[in-house]
Amino acid sequence: MSQKFAELDEVKVFKDPVHRYIHVKDRLIWELIGTPEFQRLRRIRQLGTTFLTFHGAEHSRFGHSLGVYEITRRIIEVFDGHPQWHPDERLLCLSAALLHDIGHGPFSHTFEKVFDTDHEKFTQEIILGDTEVNRVLRKEDPDFPKKVAEVIAKTYGNKLVVSLISSQIDADRMDYLLRDAYYTGVSYGNFDLERIWRVMRPYDDQVVIKQSGMHAVEDYIMSRYQMYWQIYFHPVTRSAEVILSKILKRVKSLYLKGYEFKQPPIALIPLFKNQLSLKDYLKLDESVIMYYFQVWLDEEDQILQDLCQRFINRRLFKYIEFSPNKYFDIFSDLREAFYEAAIDPDYYLVVDSSSDLPYDFYRPGEEEERLPIHLLMPDGTLRELSRESTIVEAISGKMRTDHKLYYPADFIEDMSHHQAAKKKIKDLLNY
Amino acid sequence: MSQKFAELDEVKVFKDPVHRYIHVKDRLIWELIGTPEFQRLRRIRQLGTTFLTFHGAEHSRFGHSLGVYEITRRIIEVFDGHPQWHPDERLLCLSAALLHDIGHGPFSHTFEKVFDTDHEKFTQEIILGDTEVNRVLRKEDPDFPKKVAEVIAKTYGNKLVVSLISSQIDADRMDYLLRDAYYTGVSYGNFDLERIWRVMRPYDDQVVIKQSGMHAVEDYIMSRYQMYWQIYFHPVTRSAEVILSKILKRVKSLYLKGYEFKQPPIALIPLFKNQLSLKDYLKLDESVIMYYFQVWLDEEDQILQDLCQRFINRRLFKYIEFSPNKYFDIFSDLREAFYEAAIDPDYYLVVDSSSDLPYDFYRPGEEEERLPIHLLMPDGTLRELSRESTIVEAISGKMRTDHKLYYPADFIEDMSHHQAAKKKIKDLLNY
Amino acid sequence: MSQKFAELDEVKVFKDPVHRYIHVKDRLIWELIGTPEFQRLRRIRQLGTTFLTFHGAEHSRFGHSLGVYEITRRIIEVFDGHPQWHPDERLLCLSAALLHDIGHGPFSHTFEKVFDTDHEKFTQEIILGDTEVNRVLRKEDPDFPKKVAEVIAKTYGNKLVVSLISSQIDADRMDYLLRDAYYTGVSYGNFDLERIWRVMRPYDDQVVIKQSGMHAVEDYIMSRYQMYWQIYFHPVTRSAEVILSKILKRVKSLYLKGYEFKQPPIALIPLFKNQLSLKDYLKLDESVIMYYFQVWLDEEDQILQDLCQRFINRRLFKYIEFSPNKYFDIFSDLREAFYEAAIDPDYYLVVDSSSDLPYDFYRPGEEEERLPIHLLMPDGTLRELSRESTIVEAISGKMRTDHKLYYPADFIEDMSHHQAAKKKIKDLLNY
Amino acid sequence: MSQKFAELDEVKVFKDPVHRYIHVKDRLIWELIGTPEFQRLRRIRQLGTTFLTFHGAEHSRFGHSLGVYEITRRIIEVFDGHPQWHPDERLLCLSAALLHDIGHGPFSHTFEKVFDTDHEKFTQEIILGDTEVNRVLRKEDPDFPKKVAEVIAKTYGNKLVVSLISSQIDADRMDYLLRDAYYTGVSYGNFDLERIWRVMRPYDDQVVIKQSGMHAVEDYIMSRYQMYWQIYFHPVTRSAEVILSKILKRVKSLYLKGYEFKQPPIALIPLFKNQLSLKDYLKLDESVIMYYFQVWLDEEDQILQDLCQRFINRRLFKYIEFSPNKYFDIFSDLREAFYEAAIDPDYYLVVDSSSDLPYDFYRPGEEEERLPIHLLMPDGTLRELSRESTIVEAISGKMRTDHKLYYPADFIEDMSHHQAAKKKIKDLLNY
């Protein structure tokens, strides 16, 4: 691939709290960052509702995307001159790294569950469709957008390139662990990034790690484990997510039933109708959503209004541990008691589960994504990480799952008209 | 003052990246944090448009307010048992610290300039008016809201209490310097906070610093200086502010002229009419503003539309240094050339100035706020900081001012129909 | 116990890189720090020969001892007011924490192996014998030295006090992990110390951890694991230790054989004779040892001279992995080949093993020290850590052992007169 | 200059707390680090007696020398490809950076004052004389040692090379400020090293700084100022230095008077006789000095014995501020009173002064070393830093001096036999 874009006259730098500086010397990258589609990532939080648990976590996907680009850039610098590395793939990798999250919308995770949207589909559309991003990429080469889209979709021929962006130890994960730890202020997410990128090597169709860096990788895997359970799956964050999803569910259901909104939620209607165009999608961001939530504080519908004030004023649901066995025993009784108390359990009684597999080696015939991490031994052979590392071996394949039942404790406390139901609910929750 | 609020059963902690943990053991503080007025600070950025220059600076006034509370709490812990300190003032100080910024609205600085609003007035109204904050404060004592309001307004009788919250080295400044440095990722804002709070002592009507902590204070003053010039007055941030103020100016002017908006900016109309009630004010936040900016991308008015897309897509004005002497020479010529080129200079040619006085000792008859920092010498006497510190003496009273002229370089570059005006403008800008 | 020592007029602080400040307000502690026996810890490195691998690790036991004191002080501050905590034990805990390592000599670990000395015995003697430390302690109470000695020896009646200083998660371990990580510059040793000390609670005869702090403890255990394998058991550090022990062995053997030293190693002679008095012991420090090593560079004995220059000029032995099975196969052949090549294998062919048990729960009848870590559950019951933590459960009881064979690769390379032996040795090493 | 040394097969890294990793890819550098003369720097503390004030400051000149090398390496990487930079000078710069402190001996500063030695002279001898360092350098080119020696002596023809190692903002100063701040644990020494090295440019015969980096340089100058007054000139550190110099003075004077030492200080005798050969010098290190101090604890001479125990057990002199005016008034009276009290004022009454010029521009005809820092303006011209920076302008040329009088407060307190002299001394000290 011939490189059409010149280098910039001078390296541009972004001050970044995680990587100190992010360096851009390619005009292509510089122009991609300047597109409206990329700037839009400033209006979408990296961690959704987590800021309601960890107030520092207000950072957007913009900084993360720059960070993934920067880590990829540094890894490639190490690859430079290596016989298994084609320098022609450099700009492709950097572009894919920068754009890998470009398709995310506001509170992506929850929106996808409620509206069945797919941020990966929008990523493809933004790269291949009628956008500024596409116009910039095409200036490099008419074929370039397609290649970038393939790398992100993991269908690109050169799997080495794919594995830089998507694997168990890719630039994406390394950036978000460090970045989310920085903004939440926890110490768990720290590992020696510099050590890892310096020991990465291209090896056939994957990125491998020199054995001397094994301990840094162990540390990365432990960080990942801690971040999942302490940040990403935090029960308070999930409470906010539960409320968010119920707001979206309620407003869609109201719309489909012909409810008269005081101020019609114009930007969301295509979503309710399953007719969301790329243009509509790009207009959605978290400001728009938060604007509607505020507007709905004045709506007649009690459920919508209540859920919105809960989200805006952080009056979240409480929770109890909820093992699946218990679930069958008491869930239907609880729902009934909620009905008796005139609280709609479809909106106010929610089970939420999280699970994580800290590290897994490849099992034939299963999930394709979970490629193992390979160590490059001093004798030039490869060994799968968990065969060398006691600690990784110990936690490999250990799935951990956590179930919580969310409910509005304040409602139940205030239920003076339904003493019997109140007692029943409290008994069931303490069961 | 008798304390009505009990302590919490257990100290609550917030994880905070700057102070590691923020500790709350008073039920009053806990309830204040839970009010809608306080939670609203999550939707107002601490540094306005700075995130467009330093992408990490997306943090809100919520975390800062907790931080000011925490620093005040730690200082008071040091004061505990000191004969000049009345333990009764403790909750008053903590409440004032927590609420000192409660009256801020979206992009406060710019809004105040354009709409002549006053966040300090709203602070008073939130504390004294019909709000949750007021209801919580009154539970402590019917007089308590008034006292908190007075401390923040600096009219409270005990000036020692006032100086904890508002002085040249108060909890507010110490928190924002550290916090803004953390989120932008710069190293300038660092100073030894722990050292400073440990050497603070109550002394008559002010907080003084034990002489052994002088060097830490010098460091704080240098940090302040560096943060002002490198972060707060950064020319790119000011470019975004210039555009923001011109959007607000434009939309107000359109409204007053009876322009027909596709979607009327309901939440802003009271502002345009100078009839903003507290209730209206509390509904404003940065999501609402950003929502309107997006909506206005589809407006007919070219100026409004252009300015909004500049803000949203970060296509900012360029700038040149603009000394006041130059100003008189070329400004009117430039305005004329802009008119010739059909670019309205009222919106597209803007001079912006910043100035700062890094440290000042008290000069009788002048600005009341600028009380000097006093050192408590080993012999029990006080000495004004700049008399002890060579470095502070060197920079005392040294006002520095910086003027920039902002303009849309892209417009001028694209002016193919107005070659003569284009040449004239370019000549004047290079003058 | 009545406290005889007054508090100091003013809290004294030590600037410490790990804890920021170390605070001393008790005159007793202040005087203990000032004793010659405690100051002597400045002349004994915390990590022995590690500075030859990680050049930053030049720190002494002095700072570590202050650090253990400081952590203990902070934990006790949290205990203050707790019904299970006797404030009378405060000074006892602090003194024991400060003095727990007072008996260490130069390169303790190696000296103990070669000369069969015991630093714990000297700790007891320093506290109970004719020393400044004893005189200071006695001023508090005639019985006080005995109590301090018992706490350190783990024989003190109140096991809660003992467990603060010696358990699987005590002040000693927490300080050295953080401190050694800081000075070596690695990122592995980090865990959230503040979180841990804030969730520690006295509970009958042990210190337990509130369940909400479990993740911080997991992190601590993982740090411990990483530090052991990457710092404490680093093969290059062990190479220096091997040489050190062979120097000591050689010089003792020469002395006992009546070798005529150019400059007799006066300070070491009591050690060679197994007649080391406390006074002799206190005169030994690492300067003295390093002085002799330099002097011995001019000795006639080739082995002594060579080993000393290896240590001083960092010309260490190389190593190979050496599984125990291999050991039996080739070790005697190798020794023979060394003899053929006129290299004494007693000094130049050394097997060294390290092993670690990252975490263990109590097994009745076994090692008394390994008391498990208990979590204090919300319902007030205790649960052993590995029953709550997947990650700790995964690594519990997993002993890991590592064997290396050390040899002077340079000698073998230079062996021009013994071509046959050289070939034989090289073949055996590559076996 | 043709490069004789091949590159290493693999880049070697040293873990370093300040720069994270130090990278060595040139065999020449690797071999220099391995020489006995360079390894000897491990036995010489970077900050002399500072560890008695800041217990963390136990680090040696070894790490600092690696750090200066590393910063130089990074700057040169930025210079790579610049028309004013000759890549041939690379290895020369790196070698000079690594070896710039090779001539330092134990407690250099104090030794030089007492014995009139000169570490710069020994640096030249080590590079040019019969040493391992010289043998390694000569392998590169017979002329290479001479060039390296010239760069360090600042006589090398290419002044650009000289200014990398010795200027107001050179690799040496940048490393020691950061390193000494790290080990002492203070926050003052921090500045944005990465920013500075990235904006350094070769420009004729000097290294200049791009104007965009001005604020980082301001920060560096302020750090320097703070470090000087808070660390390097700390009065307690100077107290230890005073004692150290008096020990050396005493022992020399005793030797010259023919005093019979119990154990003759063999290694120091050449020093007393002014006959110190390079070989003698290389045998001196801080272990040797500390060994003698311990031995002298058993000497008959009371002054020598007392001063040594003060140093070893940290029983330092107290001090008072001592303005030069006072000096003339009371100094001779004080000396007299000391004689009366039978305390030798030549050893026990010492005035010590420190002074610093935080930044200076060049003044023709004066001190040649103080070349100003130049900014490279966007238009390609140079401007002297203090003309652009308000803060640097404010402190330029401001010499600050501090005088202290040191004396043994404990002696005076214990003077029961000389009540009159005691009173007189106390009165004079409080004068």
Q: What is the mean pLDDT of residues B182-186?
A: 96
The residue ranking higher by pLDDT, D143 or B429, is: D143
Percentage, residues of chain A above pLDDT 90? 77
At A304, give phi and psi (nearest 5°): -60, -50
Give the position of tokens 């204070």.
Answer: B217
Using 50, 70 and 90 to split pLDDT, how confident is the model at C149?
very high
Q: Tokens at residue A305, please?
A: 């209004």
DSSP A200: E
Poorest-confidence range of B88-102, C193-207, C387-401?
C387-401
10 Å CB burial of residue B29 (0-12, 13-18, 19+) is buried
Examine the pLDDT at C369 and tell me if it is beyond 70.
no
Instruction: Confirm if B349 and B337 have CB atoms less than 8 A apart.
Output: no
Is A230 part of the contact surface with chain C (CB cutoff 8 Å)? Answer: yes
Examine the pLDDT at A237 and tell me if it is beyond 60.
yes
pLDDT of residue D365: 47
- Judged by CB atoms closer than 8 Å, whether chains meet at C395 and A400 is answered as no
Instruction: Confirm if B159 and B150 have CB atoms less than 8 A apart.
Output: no
Count Cβ atoms below 10 Å from residue B199 Cβ, excluding itself.
Answer: 19
Is A187 part of the contact surface with chain B (CB cutoff 8 Å)? Answer: no
Give per-residue pLDDT as tens, B109-120: 899 999 999 999
Q: Tokens at residue D281, please?
A: 């010098």
Examine the pLDDT at D70 and tell me if it is beyond 60.
yes
Instruction: Confirm if B394 and D394 have CB atoms less than 8 A apart.
Output: yes
Is C87 part of the contact surface with chain D (CB cutoff 8 Å)? Answer: no
Q: What is the mean pLDDT of residues C383-391?
A: 90
pLDDT of residue C401: 86
Instruction: Confirm if A211 and A377 have CB atoms less than 8 A apart.
Output: yes
Using a CB-CB cut-off of 8 Å, the residues of chain D touching C39 are 312-314
Q: Which residue of A has its CA nearest to C212?
A: A230
Examine the pLDDT at D367 and tell me if it is beyond 60.
no
User: How many Å lie between the alpha carbon of C180 and the closest alpha carbon of chain B?
Assistant: 22
Which residue from D184, D197, D250, D157 is spatially nearest to D19, judged by alpha carbons?
D197
Which residue from C241, C239, C274, C228 is spatially nearest to C109, judged by alpha carbons?
C241
* Residue D228 DSSP SS3: helix
Give per-residue pLDDT as tens, C156-188: 999 999 999 888 899 999 999 999 999 999 988
Instruction: Confirm if D29 and D153 have CB atoms less than 8 A apart.
Output: no
Q: How far is CA A20 from CA A96, A336, C64, D381, in A?
A: 22, 56, 31, 29
Is A143 part of the contact surface with chain D (CB cutoff 8 Å)? Answer: no
10 Å CB burial of residue A210 (0-12, 13-18, 19+) is middle
* Residue D417 DSSP SS3: coil
Percentage, residues of chain A above pLDDT 70? 96
- Judged by CB atoms closer than 8 Å, whether chains meet at C219 and A395 is answered as no
- Judged by CB atoms closer than 8 Å, whether chains meet at D294 and C288 is answered as yes
Using 50, 70 and 90 to split pLDDT, how confident is the model at A366?
very low
Q: What is the mean pLDDT of residues A347-363?
A: 79
Q: Which residue of D has its CA nearest to C49?
A: D42
Give per-residue pLDDT as tens, A295-311: 999 999 999 999 999 99
Contacts of residues A342-347 at CB distance under 8 Å and 24 or more positions apart, as own/partner, are A342/A418, A343/A408, A343/A411, A344/A303, A347/A246, A347/A249, A347/A250, A347/A303, A347/A307
Neighbours of chain D (3+ CB pairs under 8 A): A, B, C
Using 50, 70 and 90 to split pLDDT, how confident is the model at C1?
very low
Length in residues, chain A: 431
Query: From the list B187, B215, B394, which residue is nearest D395 (CB)?
Result: B394
User: How many Å lie between the alpha carbon of A32 and the closest alpha carbon of chain D?
Assistant: 24
Beginning with the edge strand found earlier in the chain, give each strand of the sheet holding A206-210 in spatial order.
A200-203, A206-210, A374-376, A382-384
At D398, give phi and psi (nearest 5°): -85, 95
Using 50, 70 and 90 to split pLDDT, how confident is the model at D4?
low
Length in residues, chain B: 431
Using 50, 70 and 90 to split pLDDT, how confident is the model at C370?
low
Q: What is the mean pLDDT of residues C47-67?
A: 98
Query: From the list B34, B35, B63, which residue is nearest A56 (CB)?
Result: B63
pLDDT of residue A265: 94
Poorest-confidence range of C1-10, C75-84, D60-69, D174-183?
C1-10
- Judged by CB atoms closer than 8 Å, whether chains meet at D219 and B391 is answered as no
Examine the pLDDT at A369 and tell me if it is beyond 60.
no
What sign does the dihedral A45-A49-A55-A57 (CA atoms) show?
negative
Q: A404 has which bridge partners?
A: A321, A352
pLDDT of residue B364: 44
pLDDT of residue D267: 94
Query: From the list A390, A398, A400, which residue is nearest C398 (CB)?
Result: A390
pLDDT of residue A363: 47
The DSSP line for B194-210 is HHHHHHEEEETTEEEEE
Using a CB-CB cut-off of 8 Å, the residues of chain B touching D225 are 391
- Judged by CB atoms closer than 8 Å, whether chains meet at B198 and C20 is answered as no
- Judged by CB atoms closer than 8 Å, whether chains meet at C17 and D182 is answered as yes
pLDDT of residue B233: 93
- Judged by CB atoms closer than 8 Å, whether chains meet at D395 and B390 is answered as yes
Using a CB-CB cut-off of 8 Å, the residues of chain A touching B294 are 283, 285, 287-288
The residue ranking higher by pLDDT, C36 or D81, is: C36
pLDDT of residue B236: 96
Query: From the list B187, B391, B395, which residue is nearest D191 (CB)?
Result: B187
Give per-residue pLDDT as tens, B285-341: 999 999 999 999 999 999 999 999 999 999 999 999 888 787 778 899 999 999 999
- Judged by CB atoms closer than 8 Å, whether chains meet at D55 and C43 is answered as no
pLDDT of residue D120: 93
| A vs D: CB pairs below 8 A | 10
Neighbours of chain A (3+ CB pairs under 8 A): B, C, D
User: How many Å lie between the alpha carbon of C110 and the closest alpha carbon of chain B?
Assistant: 40
Give per-residue pLDDT as tens, B28-58: 999 999 999 999 999 999 999 999 999 999 9
Q: What is the mean pLDDT of residues B381-409?
A: 88
Q: What is the mean pLDDT of residues A178-197?
A: 93
Alpha helix (H) residue ranges in C190-265: 193-199, 214-227, 235-256
Examine the pLDDT at B427 and tell me if it is beyond 60.
yes
* Residue D365 DSSP SS3: coil
Query: From the list B16, B17, B186, which residue is nearest A182 (CB)?
Result: B17
Q: How far is CA A307 from CA A250, A292, A299, B73, D71, in A?
A: 9, 12, 11, 34, 57
What is d(CA C198, CA A175) in angstroms, rounded to the nearest whole number?
30
Which residue from B59, B385, B92, B408 is spatially nearest to B239, judged by alpha carbons?
B408
Query: From the list D229, D391, D395, which residue is nearest B215 (CB)?
Result: D229
CB-based burial, B88-121: b 16+ in 10 Å, e otherwise: ebbbbbbbbbbbbbbbbbbbbebbeebbebebee
Q: CB-based contacts of A118: which residues, under 8 Å, 6+ apart?
A: A112
Amino acid at A108: S
What is d(CA B176, CA B171) in angstroms, rounded to the nearest whole number?
9
Is A184 part of the contact surface with chain B (CB cutoff 8 Å)? Answer: yes
What is d(CA A239, CA A49) in angstroms, rounded to the nearest whole number?
9
Examine the pLDDT at A226 and tell me if it is beyond 60.
yes
Is B186 part of the contact surface with chain A (CB cutoff 8 Å)? Answer: yes
Q: B158 has which bridge partners?
A: none
- Judged by CB atoms closer than 8 Å, whether chains meet at B51 and A42 is answered as yes
pLDDT of residue D360: 66
User: How many Å lie between the alpha carbon of C217 and the closest alpha carbon of chain B?
Assistant: 17
Q: How far is CA C227 from CA A30, A132, C104, C223, in A?
A: 42, 50, 21, 6
Give the position of tokens 């040019």.
Answer: D128
Examine the pLDDT at D409 and tell me if it is beyond 90.
yes
pLDDT of residue B390: 82
User: How many Å lie between the alpha carbon of D261 and the closest alpha carbon of chain C?
Assistant: 15
Using a CB-CB cut-off of 8 Å, the residues of chain D touching A81 are none
Q: What is the mean pLDDT of residues B199-203?
A: 95
Using a CB-CB cut-off of 8 Å, the residues of chain A touching B311 are none
Dmax over CA atoms of chain C, in Å, equals 77
Q: How far is CA A262 from CA A297, A300, B169, B279, in A?
A: 11, 9, 49, 19
Q: What is the mean pLDDT of residues B154-160?
A: 94
Instruction: Confirm if D162 and B156 have CB atoms less than 8 A apart.
Output: no
Give per-residue pLDDT as tens, C309-339: 999 999 999 999 888 787 778 899 999 999 9
Using a CB-CB cut-off of 8 Å, the residues of chain A touching D20 are 194
Q: How far is CA A48 from the centre of its chain?
A: 8
Examine the pLDDT at C411 and tell me if it is beyond 70.
yes
Q: Which of B257-261, B393-397, C364-368, D190-194 has the highest mean pLDDT?
A: B257-261
At D151, give phi and psi (nearest 5°): -60, -45
Using 50, 70 and 90 to split pLDDT, how confident is the model at B142?
very high
Is B296 part of the contact surface with chain A (CB cutoff 8 Å)? Answer: no
Is A339 part of the contact surface with chain D (CB cutoff 8 Å)? Answer: no
Beginning with the edge strand found earlier in the chain, give each strand of the sheet holding B318-321 in spatial order.
B318-321, B400-407, B350-356
Q: Tokens at residue A11, please?
A: 């390296």
Domains of chain B: 7-232 (1.10.3210.10), 235-354+403-430 (1.20.1250.30)
**C-alpha atoms less than 13 angstroms from C-alpha of D110 in its C-beta half-sphere:** 23
Examine the pLDDT at C361 and tell me if it is beyond 70.
no
pLDDT of residue C367: 45
Of B16, B21, B78, B80, which to mutate for an interface test with C (greatest number of C Cβ within 10 Å)? B21
Q: What is the mean pLDDT of chain B?
A: 92
- Judged by CB atoms closer than 8 Å, whether chains meet at A62 and B54 is answered as no
Give per-residue pLDDT as tens, B370-381: 578 999 998 999
Is A215 part of the contact surface with chain C (CB cutoff 8 Å)? Answer: yes
pLDDT of residue C267: 94
- Judged by CB atoms closer than 8 Å, whether chains meet at D58 and C60 is answered as yes
Q: What is the mean pLDDT of chain C?
A: 92
- Judged by CB atoms closer than 8 Å, whether chains meet at A187 and C190 is answered as yes
Poorest-confidence range of A333-342, A416-425, C15-24?
A416-425
Percentage, residues of chain D above pLDDT 70? 96
What is d(CA B255, CA B262) in angstroms, rounded to the nearest whole number?
12
Instruction: Give me the residues of D, 390-429, that contact B with CB < 8 A.
Output: 390-391, 394-395, 398, 400
pTM of the prediction?
A: 0.93
What is d(CA A34, CA A62) in angstroms, rounded to the nearest whole number?
11
Using 50, 70 and 90 to split pLDDT, how confident is the model at B354?
confident
Of B191, B227, B390, which to mutate for an interface test with D (greatest number of D Cβ within 10 Å)? B390
What is d(CA A18, CA A175) in angstroms, rounded to the nearest whole number?
8
Q: Tokens at residue B244, please?
A: 């923001």
What is d(CA D148, CA B298) in angstroms, rounded to the nearest whole number?
68
Q: CB-based contacts of A299: which residues, under 8 Å, 6+ apart?
A: A261, A262, A305, A308
pLDDT of residue B49: 96
User: How many Å lie between the alpha carbon of D223 and the closest alpha carbon of chain B?
Assistant: 9
Of D13, D14, D18, which to mutate for an interface test with A (greatest number of A Cβ within 10 Å)? D13
Examine the pLDDT at B363 and tell me if it is beyond 50.
no
